[in-house]
Amino acid sequence: AQSVTQLGSHVSVSEGALVLLRCNYSSSVPPYLFWYVQYPNQGLQLLLKYTSAATLVKGINGFEAEFKKSETSFHLTKPSAHMSDAAEYFCAVRILMDSSYKLIFGSGTRLLVRP
Amino acid sequence: DADVTQTPRNRITKTGKRIMLECSQTKGHDRMYWYRQDPGLGLRLIYYSFDVKDINKGEISDGYSVSRQAQAKFSLSLESAIPNQTALYFCATSDLQGAGTDTQYFGPGTRLTVL
């Protein structure tokens, strides 16, 4: 079965420090992978997506993610955290179910940025 | 104006009551989705619709029903609300033309509390 696992329900970093949010996927076919961000009291917003082109994907707000097939990973990084990055982040994989594509979301990682 | 709107944004109701959550979109997308979000579980798909004549059950459809009144409107109903349906509910849309990448656009959410 295709699925997504996010390691760490909470991650805390200092402002200016590296952000690393982990996502591992399980898929029997080449996956399409996504990272979404949810700011407090808002809906989900697409950060970036991997669709089998370049393995290093750049997104909005300075985030990027690298697709590593050998590790079945799609970790999200940002070199220097800002206070405004505090939010919940969701990794998702596209699956084929009942003859149509759907998204399966991970359980989310809440990022806390300390001053 | 927001592309995907949800009403109400917050609702408190009692066990056994019928509740309807509404979603409207101005993106012109064919596909619409309803998800629920619970802490630690990420987002789970309740129902989805690929056009006004197409309604499909998602992962957790029991206790819910939907209506696609028009391309732009997709409503979620709880016929007899129960406390474990307390959650944050999101509507999302995607473009059939963009189905290959399944970029979904989310509304701001409805926080439902069933007492």
**Which residue among A43, A100, A101 sits closest to B107, beta carbon to beta carbon?**
A43
Note the pLDDT of residue B102: 64
- Inform me whether the C-beta atom of residue B101 falls under 8 Å from chain A C-beta atoms: yes
Question: Which residues in chain B (11-40) have CB-CB distances under 8 A to chain A?
Answer: 40
Say which residue the tokens 């590790």 belong to.
Answer: A71
Q: Is A61 helix (H, G, I), strand (E, B) or coil?
A: helix
Q: How far is A9 from chain B (nearest CA, A)?
A: 7
Q: How far is CA B28 from CA A45, A47, B71, B96, in A?
A: 18, 22, 8, 10
The Cα of B17 is separated from the nearest Cα of chain A by a number of Å equal to: 25
Check CB contact under 8 Å for B100 and A51. Answer: yes
Residue B40: the pLDDT is 83
- For residue B33, pLDDT over 80 is answered with yes
pLDDT, tens digit (0-9, with 9 covering 90-100), for A53-65: 788 999 999 999 9
CA distance A68 to chain B (A): 19
Q: Testing the interface with B: which of A32, A42, A45, A105 to mutate, by most B Cβ within 10 A?
A: A105
d(C-alpha A11, C-alpha A26), whole Å? 23
CA distance A30 to A45: 24
B99 has a chain A CB within 8 A of its CB:
yes
Q: How many residues does chain A have?
A: 115
**DSSP secondary structure string, A62-89?**
G-EEEEEGGGTEEEEEESS--GGG-EEE
Please compute the mean of the pLDDT values over residues A76-86 and round it to a whole number. 97
| Residue B70 scores a pLDDT above 60 | yes
pLDDT of A5 strictly over 70: yes
Q: Compute the nearest-CA separation of B1 from chain A (Å).
A: 15
Q: How far apart are CA B67 and CA B54, in angstroms?
A: 10
pLDDT per residue as tens digits for the range B4-21: 999 999 999 999 999 999
If you write DSSP's letter for every residue of B25-54 in order, what string do you get?
E-S--SEEEEEEEETTTEEEEEEEEEETTE
User: For A32, which of B42, B43, B101 is closest by C-beta distance?
Assistant: B101
Per DSSP (E only), the strands in chain A are 3-7, 10-14, 19-26, 33-38, 44-50, 56-58, 64-68, 73-78, 87-97, 100-105, 109-114
Report the percentage of chain B scoring pLDDT > 90: 76
Chain A touched by B45 (CB under 8 Å): yes
Q: Tell me whether residues B40 and A107 touch, CB distance under 8 A.
A: yes
